[in-house]
Chain A
């Protein structure tokens, strides 16, 4: 019974997530407050969720571009966050 309950709840949540994706995919917008965040703010907020904030001098312009894609897929950053953070690190 316990298993069925957990399984049922999980199925329900995944279905709800699927419906959310289908119904709101193109409606997902950041608020003005979030949209106006700078690269340095996003760098400080997001990198430290898992590890220390990286120094911009560590990698080259092209390397940051590659690492940006890798980190977006690991931390599931939004596209806007990735672009702003990488632009800051490339300065």
Chain B
């Protein structure tokens, strides 16, 4: 082969290599550009997800179900029976989304509207300031610290039974307008917590019952409520609480009720412990209400009457769940039993003594979704003024579903 031929082939090879390199470079530039575009797009997406100081979320709960009830009222030797079957369980249905706004790590705003089938209400609407370790300051429409049921156990997906304990839940009214200071603190192997509120308080009604005074107070006095809790064991299995509530309830404009005060007292207990393979939970609360003696007028004839305005209520509840069982079906089952009593003043228009027992079987679909089957029996004897002795017996069968949103 001549030198000229070799030179020609070398030239062709060089041209070919140069051309290929140029093509590769062009291809590389295209890939780089696509990568840059992709990274830029991802950065953009990440910036949308980037957490700021503020955060907003919605949780809450809903509860619905079915109740079949038979009520027998016996008075003066005659009985009257009524039966109802209600879908959506009109007494215990609720849809309550809870809106939470967090501003940094110091402020939390909570708002829980609630639709109960008949009306749209608000459970709480408040702002909390996490001032220091063990010091939370709250203002707004808040759950008062009386006992522990209303604040911790009332949610349908937390409550082990389809109903709330009569006379304990909502007595006194769970929420009020005011300010609150609370906190939990360590104490060696133990823990303790405190919770104090100053609110508008309650208003005494013409029949001697109490209702929330609302956003405009009915007198100059403010109601102070406090709860002190102690967890004596290092594993937090037991909590003992004591509560008190004091305030004027009479209208300042009322001639007969002005200056009338109430004092309330509650004790509560919560014990939860795993006795492998069974998780045992024991809960209870006792409430006592006293309202100063005063004179009331009968709505029928306007005549005056008086009574010792003292009310008491309690519930004790035990539940067991075999969380350590091998079977998934068995470990998601829980059995609960509750007894309770609600006694209102003798010789009032609304005096009665009610004893209740309720049992339930729960199936946990997941940690915050539950299906409950329950049966409640209650017997109520009237203690009302002028009542000949009415007895009401009520039997209810519940099927209820509750979920945390």
- Are B102 and A29 closer than 8 Å at their CB atoms? no
CA distance A17 to B367 in the complex (A): 36
- Are B234 and A31 closer than 8 Å at their CB atoms? yes
CA distance A46 to B236 in the complex (A): 7
Least distance between A56 CB and chain B CB atoms (Å) = 11
Task: Tally A-B pairs: CB < 8 A.
Answer: 135
- Are B288 and A28 closer than 8 Å at their CB atoms? no
Binds A, one of B39-47, B180-188, B336-344, B384-392: B180-188
Specify which chain B residues have a CB less than 8 angstroms from the CB of A17 in the assembled complex.
194, 226, 228
Grouping DSSP codes into helix (H, G, I), strand (E, B) and loop, the A interface class, with mixed when no group exceeds half, is helix
- Are A28 and B186 closer than 8 Å at their CB atoms? yes
B208 interface residue (CB < 8 Å to A): no
Specify which chain B residues have a CB less than 8 angstroms from the CB of A80 in the assembled complex.
186
Q: A28-B134, A49-B236, A51-B368 are in contact. Are A76 and B195 (CB under 8 A)?
A: yes
Interface residues of A in 43-68 (CB under 8 A from B): 45-46, 48-55, 58-59, 61-63, 65-67
CA distance A34 to B193 in the complex (A): 16
- Are A31 and B189 closer than 8 Å at their CB atoms? yes
- Are B237 and A45 closer than 8 Å at their CB atoms? yes
A40 interface residue (CB < 8 Å to B): no
Q: Which residue of A46, A49, A51, A73 has the most chain B CB atoms within 10 A of its CB atom? A: A73
Contact among A31, A53, A55, A79 with B134 in the assembled complex (CB-CB below 8 Å): A79
- Are A66 and B186 closer than 8 Å at their CB atoms? no
Least distance between B228 CB and chain A CB atoms (Å) = 5
Specify which chain B residues have a CB less than 8 angstroms from the CB of A52 in the assembled complex.
364, 367-368
Specify which chain A residues have a CB less than 8 angstroms from the CB of B353 in the assembled complex.
none
Specify which chain B residues have a CB less than 8 angstroms from the CB of A62 in the assembled complex.
51, 55
Least distance between B237 CB and chain A CB atoms (Å) = 7
CA distance A25 to B134 in the complex (A): 9
Interface residues of B in 234-270 (CB under 8 A from A): 234-237, 239, 242, 244, 246, 263, 265, 270
11 residue pairs A–B, Cβ–Cβ below 8 Å = A3-B310, A10-B242, A10-B265, A21-B194, A31-B186, A50-B153, A52-B368, A69-B105, A69-B128, A75-B152, A77-B184
Instruction: Give residues in A with beta carbon < 8 Å to B.
Output: 3, 6-7, 10-11, 13-14, 17, 20-21, 25, 28-31, 33-35, 45-46, 48-55, 58-59, 61-63, 65-67, 69-70, 72-81
Known contacts A65-B102, A70-B100, A78-B133; 12 additional CB pairs below 8 A are: A6-B263, A6-B288, A7-B290, A14-B226, A25-B134, A28-B185, A30-B188, A49-B239, A50-B270, A69-B102, A75-B184, A78-B134
Instruction: Give residues in B with beta carbon < 8 Å to A.
Output: 51, 55, 57, 59, 100, 102, 105, 108, 110, 128, 130, 133-134, 136, 138, 151-153, 155, 157-158, 182-189, 191-195, 226, 228-229, 234-237, 239, 242, 244, 246, 263, 265, 270, 272, 279, 288, 290, 310, 364, 366-368
Nearest 9 A-B pairs (CB), nearest first? Answer: A10-B244, A30-B186, A76-B193, A76-B184, A52-B367, A28-B185, A66-B102, A79-B133, A69-B108
